[in-house]
Each structure stands twice: as C-alpha cells, then as structure tokens.
Amino acid sequence: MTEWNALRTGRRVAARVGSLVAAAVLATAATTLHAAAETVLRIARPDDVRALNPIRQANNSTSEVTYQIHEGLVTVNPEQQVVPVLATSWELLPDGLTYRVKLREGVTFHSGRPFNAEAVAWNMNRQLFGTPPGIAAGLIPKLGAVTVVDEFTIDFTLVKPSGVFMAILGAPLFMIVDPATMEELGNDGYDRGPSGTGPFMFDSWTPGVNVQLVANPNYWDKDNGPGVDRVIFEVIPEASARAIALRNGEVDIAFAVAAEQVDSFKVPGFTVHEVPSTRVLYIGLNTVDPILRDVNVRRALAHAMDRELIATIIGANGARADGIGMPSALGFFPSARAYDPERAKALLEGAGWRAGSGGIRSKDGVPLEIRVQTQGTTPGEVEALQVVQQQWLAVGARMIIERVEGGALAAGLTAAARAHTEDPTKIPPYQGFVLADGIRTGEVGYITERPKCDQGQRGYERYCNPDFDAAFDLSQSTAPIEERLKGYKRMAEIFEEDVMRLPLFVMQLNVVTRDTVKGFVVNPNQSLSLRGVTKAD
C-alpha cells in the first residue's frame, strides 16, 4: 500500500514536473515567436540621454531620444523648413504681437489623456516660469500672455514683435509633455515614465546602457508613424566599438562614425550618410584685443585662410565653411573672405606690421602672435587649426594653439567678457577662441545674435556695432520675408567687413545604416525623427 502510494505520489510529481516543463517549453516558444515577430531597431550612439524630461534637458544626445516620445507644435524638417506637428496652422494677428495657433485634434498622450490648448499653456508656463526654468526659456522671445482661446486654439502674445517665434518653437527644445503625468511623477520621477504624444512610448532606461521605446499603437499620424515595434538606443562611447557592433550586425544604425572609418562602410550592405550639419566651427576673435582691434589685422588673418584646403585635410569630419551657417538655412549669405595670401600680406604691411626674424611680423617690438584657445575635442578641429597655423605663418603671423578643457574655456571666456562688460577698461586677456554654433530653427538668426551689443558676458567677440544690431532686428522682425532677408544679407556683409569670426569648417554628421533600414534621413540640425523608418528582415 505504501509502495502504491509512493508510486502514485511519484507519478503525480512526474506529471506535475512534466506539465511544468511543457508549460515552460510553450512559454519559451511563445516568447521566441513573439521575439521573432517583433521588429527591433538598434541605434548605437556615443552618449546616453541626460534625462527623459525634455523640460530639464535638451542637448542633442537627449533630444534624439526624447523627441521620439514627445513632439513640438512645429518642427524643422531636413530641408530646414518649419512644418506643423501638433499645430495645424498659425497666424500673426493684426496687433503684430499675437500668434494664434490652431492645434491638432484627436491627439492623445501616451497616458491616454487628451492633448489640448490647456496642455500647451501649461508647458509654456512650466518652461518659462518653472523652478528652475525650462531649457527652452533662454531661446523663446519674451511673452506677455499665453491665452487659451478654445480647446484647440491658443494665443501667444509677445512683448516685442518677432518673425521667428514659430521657428524657435521648431527647435527640439520645446516639446509638449503630459501635464498630468508630470504633476503626478514630479520633475525627477518623470524620467521613470515620460508621456508625450510621439510615435514611440517609453519602455525602459538603464542609465549608461540603453533606452528602450516601443511603438505607440495610437499615434495620430497613421501615414507616418512608427515603422518598427521597438527602438533601442544603445550607448557605445568608443567609435571603433560602434563600427564593430554595426559590422557584426549587433546594431542597425551607428551615429558619429569616425571619419577614418567612413570609407570602409562604402560597400554593399551599408548606407553611409555624410551630411554637413548646421553647426559651424569658427575662430572667434576678441575685437578689443590690442592686436586684433585693428580690423585690417583681422581681415588679413581671414585672407590667409584657405578653407578649401582645410576641408580637404579634415576629410569626412567636415565640409567647407563659406560663412556663418549653412547654405540650406534661411538667411544664409556667404561672408568668409577669399583665400588671398598676397592681400593678407599687403593688409599687414599697411597696418604697420613689418617682417621680422623667423618670418614673424612685428610692430613697435610686439610680435604678431595670436593665441587661440581650443578644447580640441571636435573631430578635425586640431588638424584644421594646424593648417591655419601654417597658413598664418606664411603671411607672417604666428598662431599659438592653447588646449583648454571645455568647462575651463567657457568659464574663462564668460568671466573675462563679464568683467569687460562691467568695466570697459578690463580688456579680456584672450585673443582667439574656437567654438561651434549650430542652427536648430532653420534660420541663421539665432547664431548671428552673439556679436550684438547687448550680449554682455556671452558676447565673447566684444563687438558692438549699431548697424549690425539694426540688421539683426530687421532679420527677426515680422516684416515680409524679402525685408528680413535684407537684414540677414547686411549682417553677412558686416561679418565680412569686420571679421569677428573666422569660419573653420561645417561639422559633418557621419551616420551609417545597414541596408535593412529604410526611410532613415539625417537632419542637418541633428534632430532625429524615426517616423516612418522601417527595418526589413
């Protein structure tokens, strides 16, 4: 009897184990089938997101991800045109100050709550008056009022007229978050469950490892929605490691592919996207420096630079810069001086700089030496500076390249510029500095603002010219586009005449995709849209 019981118990155990094993096998099979059915797009990038809260962070590596979850009222497309997203239309009312924006109906946040004018007003208030203010606060022109007209209409009343207000909202800085989710989770907790209206919904974030998003089944744009089930943004800091992962098929897209590796991907199976960005690397000049305050010296230094040769030397790191900005941006006019070393020499002679020992010119015993501070971290930056160093030497000017850590460079420039703003007798000790400026609004206006008289500690060139300011104001006004372009043209002329900045090169975006990825387009302004991107098996 006991043996019989034992046998029965044994059979029961065996049956249970058997059923558990069967269940496990079925579950594994189901998972495998599910996994096989799921299309996963893996993107390798050098940096992680800083936060998933777009009000708090909007640097490029962050907004590339948060812009898949959230959307703005408008965006700047790869052709650098401002196009509607959550707005459907907008108009400037007769008062010349109020933009009336019609919003898209039938859109819901990932939380299921409706998107409406109240949500937009909440976002604008949070950006401008939150503690601390949002990351877009510094860019958005001063607003007198934000008025909800009806559920899908909102008025933005500016303090001063601005023709670029909507373009500024197109930068991936002003994204609409779900107010209720933000209130519920708080500024910090929002990272655990961001909710926007975008084509992808948040799934997980393992800091330093990856961010995973899943397709939003309720996305409003059925024609241009998510084309894959899951997107994984992998963090792979090292360029070689990203290239290897792409080659191995571990990822589908690799961002920031090193210039020297770009050519190796120009083979079947891969598509190389070499796109000049909207960022220009330049040497800024301190126009109140004892040597550089002479405009002829600045002009000579500009004429001594062969930007074509720079572009050749730096290869896939960049393209030739013809001015401040890029040709596809609204308001771009060439402003860089032509390469003409003889003219450079003549200008220096005319300014009293005579050839001295070692080929370096001097004046009143002072050698023509220009110290240029640089971080040297942008690919191609140091090589470009070395080319310019040789070219300046050929006309009798010595460039001393000073490598400075990024934080120290910005802090040093800001402190010296602030001191000079407060007390004009305190001449900033720096001469040249290498910085990059980028356009995210489709117009060059935003990056031409710095040399204005009112820039204070941000006006590192220490340049002030009421004519330039007037041209800038015209370019940003609500006047017809032809008039605004006159303002942009005049600014370019002044850049060429007064040479506050020497463009080095247009930074290039090098992205490689596997041929299985379709519909992927690189936007020169570095805002990433994965709408409509698909992946074949």
Partner 1 sequence: MALFIVRRLFGLIPVLLGVLAVAFAVTRLTPGDPAEIMGGLEATPEVIAAIRIDMGLDRPVPVQFLIYVGNVLQGDLGRSFYNGREVLGVMLEALPRTAWLAAVALAFTLGLGIPLGIVSALRKDSWVDFAARSFALVGVSAPPFFVGLLAILLFSSYVRWFPSYGSGTWRHVVLPGLALGLSSAGLVTRLTRSAMLEVLNENYIRTARAKGLRRRTVHYVHAFRNAAIPIVTITGLQLGSLLSGAVLTETVFAYPGIGRLLVRSIFERDFPMVQGLILLIALIYLVANLLTDLLYTAIDPRIKLR
CB of 76 within 8 A of CB of 82? yes
Query: Hey, what are 256's tokens?
Result: 């920031």
- 238 forms part of the interface with partner 1 (CB under 8 A): yes
- 207 forms part of the interface with partner 1 (CB under 8 A): yes
Strand ranges, E, within 356-480: 361-363, 366-367, 369-374, 398-403, 432-438
CB of 267 within 8 A of CB of 512? no
- 78 forms part of the interface with partner 1 (CB under 8 A): no
Residue number, 155 or 250, with CB nearest to partner 1: 250
Stretch that binds partner 1, among 7-15, 115-123, 456-464, 473-481 (CB under 8 A): 456-464
Of the candidate residues 269, 290, 406, 424, the single one contacting partner 1 (CB under 8 A) = 406
Closest CA to 203 of 27, 38, 28, 32: 38
Query: Hey, what are 235's tokens?
Result: 């963090």
Of the candidate residues 28, 88, 206, 224, the single one contacting partner 1 (CB under 8 A) = 206
Q: Total residues contacting partner 1 (rule CB under 8 A)?
A: 48
Residue number, 140 or 336, with CB nearest to partner 1: 140
- 138 forms part of the interface with partner 1 (CB under 8 A): yes
Instruction: Report d(CA 47, CA 63) in Å as an integer.
Output: 12
Amino acid letter at 490?
R
Q: How many CA within 13 A on the CB side of residue 419? A: 12
- 423 forms part of the interface with partner 1 (CB under 8 A): no
Residue number, 306 or 437, with CB nearest to partner 1: 437
Query: Hey, what are 470's tokens?
Result: 């007037």
Q: Which of residues 424-453 bind partner 1 (CB under 8 A)?
A: 435, 437
Closest CA to 44 of 517, 406, 537, 519: 517
Stretch that binds partner 1, among 29-37, 73-81, 200-208, 276-284 (CB under 8 A): 200-208
What is the nearest approach in angstroms of partner 1 to the Cβ of residue 277?
16
- 338 forms part of the interface with partner 1 (CB under 8 A): no
Stretch that binds partner 1, among 4-12, 159-167, 296-304, 403-411 (CB under 8 A): 403-411
CB of 51 within 8 A of CB of 211? no
- 56 forms part of the interface with partner 1 (CB under 8 A): yes
What is the nearest approach in angstroms of partner 1 to the Cβ of residue 328?
21
Q: Within a 10 A sphere around the Cβ of 293, how many other Cβ atoms?
A: 14
Closest CA to 432 of 287, 532, 264, 215: 287
- 72 forms part of the interface with partner 1 (CB under 8 A): no
- 405 forms part of the interface with partner 1 (CB under 8 A): yes
| Phi-psi map region of 461: left, alpha, beta (phi>0 left; psi -120 to 50 alpha) | alpha
Query: What is the contact surface with partner 1 in residues (CB under 8 A)?
Result: 44, 49-51, 56-57, 59, 131-133, 135, 137-139, 173, 187-188, 191, 206-210, 234-238, 240-241, 244-245, 247-248, 250, 405-408, 410-412, 414, 435, 437, 456-458
